[in-house]
Amino acid sequence: MMPGPRPPRAARKEGALDAKDTIKEFAMGLGVDDVGVAAAGDYDSPRTPELSTVFPDARSLVVMAYKELPTCESDSMRIAMNGRLDLMEFSRSCNYRMARFLDREFGARGMTVPVSYPLPMELDTQGAVADVSMRHAAVAAGLAAFGRNNLALHPRMGSRVIFTAVLTDLDLASDPPLEENPCDECMICVESCPGGALDEEGRTDVIKCLKACQPYGIGGNIRFWMKFAESGVEERKKMLAADGYWKLYQAASIGFQYFCFNCIKECPAGQGE
């Protein structure tokens, strides 16, 4: 007989409000730029799976925000991508430490959710739908609101921000939503997108986006190897010596390598504060 779901955990040492304060104080001490909390019932992401499929006992999400480095402005996509990798490595460490803190301090279980990969890689979703949406988690936790670029905009950091989360069985109430949307509909993001992926309001055309920002991603990989399979020996040698293959190799070793940060770096939201 399968065991039923566990009852939600109350804060072992203190009340719910004090628990949230304690959690937030710990998160800020890690060096994150902001932190919010969302009750699992307030998380609403239309395309991702139910939270219960990831963590059946999830009652809350502790969502942490991290500011992008100015490296996203660099014309060198290697430097720009390195800044993102630095941030991803730091955010993973914060996620782990938060999950362990919830265990030690409250006897609560925590499951970490990354800013990006690993994520379901499927033809139906084009590798663009995660197990848990960090954009929707940030909105539910009162950290952000959706902008015209379909990113979650933070009131101070605008679109130059990433989010991670820890799912926990600790029962916590959601923080209030943002009172004002940082996006002023300036349309700079739409005009700056080289792939035209933001032309339709409320929707990001994933295929157009991926062609522009990940030219050496899975699409480029498939096209390369299909051509390779159909080519003769001499043509294969040329293909393996060409710059395109070397870029494919590096992108694959990194995970996802972005070659465009326009929707992040061009957005003026939060940049004047």
Q: Is residue 4 part of a domain?
A: no
Run of H or E including 78: helix 77-106
Radius of gyration of the CA atoms of the chain, in A: 21
pLDDT band with cut points at 50, 70 and 90 for residue 3: very low
Q: Is residue 206 part of a domain?
A: yes
Q: Is residue 100 part of a domain?
A: yes
Q: Is residue 238 part of a domain?
A: yes
How many domains in the chain?
A: 2
**Treating both helix axes as pointing N-terminal to C-terminal, what angle do 218-230 and 233-241 enclose, rounded to 10 degrees?**
150
Q: Is residue 270 part of a domain?
A: no
- Choosing from 136, 168, 200, the residue where a domain stops is 168
Q: Is residue 214 part of a domain?
A: yes
50 and 131 both lie in a single domain: yes
Strand ranges for the chain from DSSP E: 34-39, 60-67, 110-113, 145-146, 152-153, 161-168
230 and 199 both lie in a single domain: yes
149 and 229 both lie in a single domain: no
57 and 192 both lie in a single domain: no
Quickly list DSSP for 212-264.
HH-TTSHHHHHHHHHHHHHS-HHHHHHHHHSHHHHHHHHHHHHSS--S--HHH
154 and 227 both lie in a single domain: no
Is the pLDDT assigned to residue 218 strictly greater than 70? yes
22 and 73 both lie in a single domain: yes
37 and 132 both lie in a single domain: yes
255's CB contacts (< 8 A; 6+ apart) are: 116, 117
pLDDT band with cut points at 50, 70 and 90 for residue 12: very low
**pLDDT computed for residue 219 by the predictor:** 86
**pLDDT of 114-169, one tens digit each?**
887 776 677 776 666 678 999 999 999 999 999 999 999 999 999 999 999 999 99
- Number of residues in the chain: 273
- Using an 8 Å Cβ cutoff, are 152 and 139 in contact? yes
143 and 208 both lie in a single domain: no
58 and 86 both lie in a single domain: yes
* Distance in angstroms (rounded) separating the CA atoms of residues 35 and 142: 9
SS3 66: strand
71 and 141 both lie in a single domain: yes
**pLDDT computed for residue 127 by the predictor:** 66
% of the chain residues with pLDDT over 70: 90
- Choosing from 111, 138, 168, the residue where a domain stops is 168
pLDDT, average across residues 239-251: 92
29 and 143 both lie in a single domain: yes
Q: Is residue 157 part of a domain?
A: yes
Domain that holds residue 251: 188-265
CA dihedral over 75, 125, 161, 103, signed as positive or negative: negative
**pLDDT computed for residue 16 by the predictor:** 57
* Distance in angstroms (rounded) separating the CA atoms of residues 242 and 159: 36
Q: Is residue 135 part of a domain?
A: yes
Is the pLDDT assigned to residue 221 strictly greater than 70? yes
Q: Which region, left, alpha or beta, applies to residue 255 given φ > 0 means left and ψ of -120 to 50 means alpha? A: left
- Using an 8 Å Cβ cutoff, are 37 and 11 in contact? no
- Choosing from 110, 137, 168, the residue where a domain stops is 168
H-state helical runs in 107-174 = 134-140
Q: pTM for this structure?
A: 0.87
155 and 56 both lie in a single domain: yes
Cα 43–Cα 210–Cα 245 angle in degrees, nearest 5: 135
Paired residues of 258 in beta bridges: none
* Distance in angstroms (rounded) separating the CA atoms of residues 111 and 98: 10
